[in-house]
């Protein structure tokens, strides 16, 4: 089966945790990463150790899965090499020959541009590398000497494999097409584009899992309804800090239903994963069975299903991959 996982909000929905669980549980032959590039930060808790990833998919936690980065992703060779070392995955990690290379110049441009101030970009060189690609003067991965060892045809590999798990990055509201333009990332990040990023067409995708957090956060500038002050967010235990930039995330204690509905539509989500239910509803930490959730938490899950018309199949109740309720057998 080929599955795509995407973010339904402003990134940082907890995709890393859901991906790492599914990689272990479903044991796909290939875990592949789509999305923009190293502007993404995924935090994965695996066997008692935290990993902060920006290039590799969180599914690396399954030692039997091949780890691949799709053609649509901008790759920073420096970050890539560091993460291979950190995760000890050398030998089973590959990048598509067509990936756009992020150069030092791209990073400098991203940090210096007036735009980075206006939009609040991550300064990781992603936007400028996408611009280079469009200008037709980008360097592709196949032309970077030190990367030759890792270069393959990911599109061909995912086409031939039976079970593939594709991880998107960022979130729907940051999509360059459908998000809060101009306060967005440099590409569309909806399920169709994430699939295309790794070389899969729409009819080959069986499941689209849209991840949402039980409250809403945003890093960087742009519109953000029902935002609360940091102090209030700290009191609610909602306050988070960016994985890539370390900036405090902006918080809204609410779910933005209209946006989420639109996100579910455009992504053609077949499943919803809700994360951090234990943070929003204390008393649910580490729960692994639906019946063990508090009445309040169960009502919330029912509300998500009713509002979005999509089954909530996965419920996150803590940071570890094991802290999850998996209802896929009952809901699909």
What, of Mg ion, ligand IMP, none, does residue 319 touch, CB below 5 to 8 Å by kind?
none
Which residue has the CB atom at the shortest distance from ligand IMP? 220
The Cα angle at residue 11 between residues 10 and 16, in degrees rounded to 5 = 155
Rounded Cα–Cα distance for residues 214 and 275 (Å) = 6
The residue within the footprint of ligand IMP, chosen from 28, 34, 199, 220 (CB under 6 A), is 220
Using CB under 5 A as the binding rule, the residues of this chain from 204 to 243 that contact Mg ion are: 243
Q: Shortest approach of Mg ion to residue 41 CB, angstroms?
A: 4
Contacts of 192 (CB under 8 A, 6+ apart): 202
The rounded distance, in Å, linking the Cα atoms of 157 and 153 is 6
Taken as a whole, the chain contains a residue count of 332
Q: Taking CB under 5 A as the rule, does residue 13 contact Mg ion?
A: no
170 touching ligand IMP, by CB under 6 A: yes
Query: Does residue 27 come out as left (phi exceeding 0), alpha (psi in the -120 to 50 range) or beta?
Result: left
Pick 14 or 77: Cβ nearer ligand IMP? 14
| Binding of ligand IMP by 167 (CB under 6 A) | no
Residue 279, contacted partner among Mg ion, ligand IMP, none, CB below 5-8 A by kind? none
Provide the annotated active-site residues.
Answer: 12, 42
Percentages helix, strand, coil for the chain (3-state, rounded to 5) are 35, 20, 40
Q: Give me the DSSP letters along 185-228.
A: -SS--SHHHHHHHHT--GGG--EEEEEEESSEEE-SSS--TT-B
109 contacts Mg ion (rule: CB under 5 A): no
Taking CB under 6 A as the rule, does residue 126 contact ligand IMP? Answer: yes
Estimate to the nearest angstrom the gap between the alpha carbon of 256 and the chain centroid.
19
Which stretch, 120-128, 250-258, 286-294, 311-319, contacts ligand IMP (CB under 6 A)? 120-128
Verify binding: residue 12, Mg ion, rule CB under 5 A.
yes
Q: Residue 179 contacts by C-beta under 8 Å, 6 or more apart in sequence?
A: 172, 173, 185
Of 10-18, 70-78, 195-203, 250-258, the window that binds ligand IMP (rule: CB under 6 A) is 10-18
Residues in 36-65 at the binding interface with ligand IMP, rule: CB under 6 A: 36, 39-41
Are 124 and 242 within 8 A, CB to CB? no
Residue 169: contacted member of Mg ion, ligand IMP, none (CB under 5 to 8 Å, by partner type):
ligand IMP
Q: How far is the CB of 50 from Mg ion (least distance, A)?
A: 13
* Residue 185 binding ligand IMP, by CB under 6 A: yes
> How far is residue 23 from each of residues 36, 134, 263, measured CA to CA in Å?
21, 33, 24
- Residue 3 binds which of Mg ion, ligand IMP, none (CB < 5-8 A, kind-dependent): none
Is residue 121 close enough to count as binding ligand IMP by CB under 6 A? yes
> Is residue 281 a contact partner of residue 300, using CB atoms and an 8 Å limit?
yes
Among 122, 129, 132, 252, binds ligand IMP (CB under 6 A): 122
For the chain, give the longest Cα–Cα distance: 57
Question: Considering the complex, what minimum distance in angstroms separates the CB of residue 124 from ligand IMP?
Answer: 6
Site residues (vs Mg ion, CB under 5 A):
12, 41, 243
Site residues (vs ligand IMP, CB under 6 A):
10-12, 36, 39-41, 119-122, 124, 126-127, 169-170, 174, 185-186, 219-220
């Amino acid at each position: 089966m080929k599955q795509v996982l995407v973010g339904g909000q402003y990134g940082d929905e907890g995709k890393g945790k859901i991906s790492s669980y599914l990689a272990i549980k479903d044991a796909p032959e290939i875990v592949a990463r789509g999305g923009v590039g190293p502007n993404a930060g995924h935090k994965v808790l695996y066997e008692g150790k935290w990993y902060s990833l920006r290039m590799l998919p969180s599914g690396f936690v399954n030692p039997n899965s091949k780890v691949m980065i799709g053609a649509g992703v901008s790759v920073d060779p420096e970050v890539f090499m560091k993460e291979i070392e950190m995760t000890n995955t050398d030998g089973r990690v590959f990048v598509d020959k067509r990936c756009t290379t992020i150069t030092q110049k791209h990073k400098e441009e991203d940090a210096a541009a007036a735009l980075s101030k206006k939009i609040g970009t991550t300064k990781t060189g992603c936007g400028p590398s996408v611009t280079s690609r469009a200008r037709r003067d980008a360097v592709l991965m196949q032309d970077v000497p030190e990367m030759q060892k890792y270069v393959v045809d990911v599109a061909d590999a995912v086409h031939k494999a039976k079970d593939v798990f594709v991880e998107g990055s960022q979130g729907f509201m940051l999509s360059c097409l459908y998000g809060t333009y101009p306060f967005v990332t440099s590409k569309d990040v909806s399920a169709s584009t994430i699939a295309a990023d790794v070389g899969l067409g729409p009819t080959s995708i069986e499941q689209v899992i849209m991840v949402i957090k039980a409250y809403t956060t945003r890093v960087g500038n742009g519109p953000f309804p029902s935002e609360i002050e940091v102090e209030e967010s700290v009191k609610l235990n909602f306050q988070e800090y960016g994985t890539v930039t370390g900036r405090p995330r902006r918080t809204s204690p609410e779910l933005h239903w209209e946006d989420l509905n639109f996100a579910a539509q455009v992504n053609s989500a077949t499943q919803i994963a809700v994360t951090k239910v234990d943070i929003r509803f204390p008393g649910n930490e580490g729960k692994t069975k639906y019946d063990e959730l508090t009445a309040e938490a169960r009502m919330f899950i029912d509300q998500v299903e009713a509002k979005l018309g999509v089954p909530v199949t996965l419920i996150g109740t803590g940071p570890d991959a094991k802290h999850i309720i998996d209802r896929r057998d009952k809901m699909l």
